[in-house]
Amino acid sequence: MSNPPLPDTPIRRVVIAGGGTAGWMAAAALSRTLGKVLDITLVESEEIGTVGVGEATIPPLRTFHRLLGISEQEYLAGTQGTIKLGISFEGWKARGHRYIHSFGTSGRDHWSAGFQQFWLRGRQEGLASDYADYCIELQAAHQDRFAHLPDSHVNYAYHMDAALYARFLRELAGRHGCRRVEGKIAEVETDAGNGCIRALKLESGDVLQGDFFIDCTGFRALLIGQALGVGFSDWSQWLPNDRALATQTTAVRDAVPYTRAIAGRAGWQWRIPLQHRVGNGIVYSSRFMDDDEACEAFLSSLEGEVIRTPWPVRFRPGQRERCWERNCVALGLAGSFIEPLESTTIHLIQRGIVRLLQSFPGVLSQAAIDDYNAQLDAELQHVRDFVVLHYHATERRDSPYWEEVASMRLPPSLQHRIDLFRETGLVFHQPGELFAENSWIQVMMGQGIQPRRHHPVADVMTREDLGRFLGDIRRNVLDTVRQFPAHMDYLRRYAPAPVPEAVKRAQALP
């Protein structure tokens, strides 16, 4: 049965259901770019908490901030922010093993082959050192250093306080005309004729009418799921984790410029260092670890004073069958959830917003809706495959959990990427994909997937020329990083953040 025709009335009133990171990112972006032609309202309730664990980001957020005219120094100081050069994966390939997936590029490519091909030949002939030695960001992460370079050559992201970020964006959206309404949504009214959402009725009795709605109600998905009935595709067969615990602790040392992802018996833990505190969490599968055991393992591993009682998060990995349905777009957890292993939650919100802005219709268009859904679907599956790679490509067999993920049947798209790299050293990469070739290389080799051969173009160089080529790159990387100050020394000068009251109270405890 086909859907009824979409209404052809102009879109003038946009209602955002829910605040948090997703809601206020949408409100800030829409009001900053389209606020002069749209009436934008966000409804949220202070009584409804947010998941509040999305504190690590990836580099495209910097582009989003430039779009909104956000000062990096004000943002870092206002969100307790620190620099993130990558993620340290500890115990993923094997117990005691560590590698860093950095945001940088490694070496220099040739038009016919990537740098890894020359490095592979260099390793074969004893001319190349560790792959990490050829990337500025990776070496800076290892040495806990950071600095801005004049040519913007360093690629980086941020760690931040998610609640402070939402507040930061709320102020920005307000300056550009977004109206905030306090209240809980009691009912979503739809039009029986065209199936679109007509209004949100609040518990107070107030009614918010709109032409277009953005669902940022988290896992509840009040609009896209409950009201419009869009189904959810479950990815548990590839991503078995379904629960998390999160908390905050005082910092006991200077923040490092990377996120830590520490593999455990039935999941993993994160450590996200801010200027004066640390975000901590454990992600696990309830089929392999019960809640009490997870809590005990988590609390026993913490450093510093606990600032906030640990809070639980239950989730189901997957995506909406359609993130845009009729006159409603779902952002954040209402639309998809891929666990935060590669810090993609905020990025996927950002991509949803940017794509919405690029295709925002004067009136609803089914062609624009279908294109939006197709693009977002492809990106979600790309990110899913990258995260699944970390679990499957492992030498660990020390628990039923690791035995299962290592032997699972992969999505065909991921299996192809692994086979191609293992057999040829080539990386399958589509234009516009989030994770670039060097990300796939770093994680595949970090997890133990080694190419069997290198591209013949690497054999064109003489042994002496190859040695000079690799040596020059390595020296340039090391010389550049040697000039960087310590990460926190740089931040204390560049964008110092005040000590939060909660941290002061925790530090004062006997």
Residues annotated as catalytic are 84
DSSP 172-208: HHHHTTPEEEE--EEEEEE-TTT--EEEEEETTS-EE
Phi first, then psi: what are they for 341, rounded to 5°?
Answer: -60, -40
- H or E element, residue 13: strand 13-17
Contacts of 423 (CB under 8 A, 6+ apart): 451, 452, 453
The whole-angstrom separation of Cα 71 and Cα 161 is 17
Report the SS3 class of residue 477: helix
HSE-up (13 A, CA, CB side) for residue 462: 3
Contacts of 348 (CB under 8 A, 6+ apart): 332, 335, 336, 338, 379, 380, 383
The whole-angstrom separation of Cα 290 and Cα 285 is 8
Structure tokens at 117: 């091909």
> Which letter does DSSP use for residue 273 in this model?
E
- Do strands 259-263 and 267-273 pair parallel, antiparallel, or not at all (unpaired)? antiparallel
The residues facing 232 across adjacent strands are 320
Residue with tokens 């390939």: 93
> Which letter does DSSP use for residue 6 in this model?
P
Phi first, then psi: what are they for 305, rounded to 5°?
Answer: -85, 135
The residues facing 200 across adjacent strands are 188, 208
DSSP 226-237: IIT---EEE-TT
The whole-angstrom separation of Cα 123 and Cα 127 is 6
The answer to whether 166 touches 21, Cβ cutoff 8 Å, is yes
